[in-house]
Amino acid sequence: MKRIVLGLGLIVLAACSPSGEQPKKDEAKVETAPVEAVAAAPVPMKTEAPAGAYTLDKTHASLSFRVNHLGFSNYTARFTNFDAQLQLDPANPSASSVTATVDAKSLALPAPPAGFVDELLGAKWLDAAGFPQMTFKSTKVELTGANTARITGDFSMRGVTLPVTLDATFNGGYAGNQYEPQARIGFSAHGSLQRAAFGVKEGVPPPGTTFGVSDNVDIIIEAEFSGPPLATPAAPK
């Protein structure tokens, strides 16, 4: 009986070993070194515009917003007085940054009824008297394509600061020329925010309806920036 039990034990051990063989004691163990993550090299922008400080060209810039009105239309308005500064690093776009300010009192509406602008600048809406300026300061720039990026930043309005994300498209740029001896670049951007989160709750439609003005606000930006002077200005012809 003992021989039968012993024989069964040997069969089980053999079955648990690869190819039915016992592992050899003198076989060397092969250890692999851990693979370390290698950070991807920055992808440079395809532009001859140099790195440096850029200021907004207000003549070629617009800041518009849209809200849904009663479910019937996307009502569009804009701000006429705003500014922005950009630190550009074409070799490493993720290291770039942007800050912007908006004058709340510069709200412009298409054919507003009498007193309507003053109402929107009042305490229930923008409260421009108590909070005359809105600001945006980027905290992160993520490339999403060859000429696109997602810009996240802190947006402040009515004393509330929350993160807002803009999807930006780089439209091109140059280092300068004989007509304009300084760099120029251009961007288009869009994003959205929920106005109630910033304390603007007036007129938000009841849940499940569109009877009012939407909580969601779409932001549309077109902007050109002027940058460092051309290193060797070409002589005008």
* Higher pLDDT among residues 26 and 80, named by residue: 80
Residue 18 has pLDDT above 50, yes or no: no
Residue 4 or 177, more confident: 177
Average pLDDT on 87-99 reads 97
**Topology of domain 52-229, per CATH?**
Lipocalin (2.40.128)
At 24-64, the pLDDT tens digits run 444 445 455 454 445 567 788 889 999 999 999 999 999 99
Distance CA(48)–CA(7), nearest Å, equals: 81
Provide the token pair at 12: 């089980």
Q: Among residues 118, 107, 64, 54, which one has the least CA distance to residue 84?
A: 54
Distance separating alpha carbons of residues 117 and 114, to the nearest angstrom: 8
Domain ranges of the chain: 52-229
Nearest residue to 198 via CA among 168, 139, 154: 154
Instruction: Give the position of tokens 């034990």.
Output: 9
DSSP string of 74-141, one letter each residue: EEEEEES-EEEEEEE-TTSGGG-EEEEEEEGGGEE-SSPPTTHHHHHHSTTTT-TTT--EEEEEEEEE
Segment 147-199, tens digit of pLDDT: 999 999 999 999 999 999 999 999 999 999 999 999 999 999 999 999 999 99
Give the largest Cα separation in the chain, rounded: 111
Question: pLDDT band at 72, cuts 50/70/90?
Answer: very high
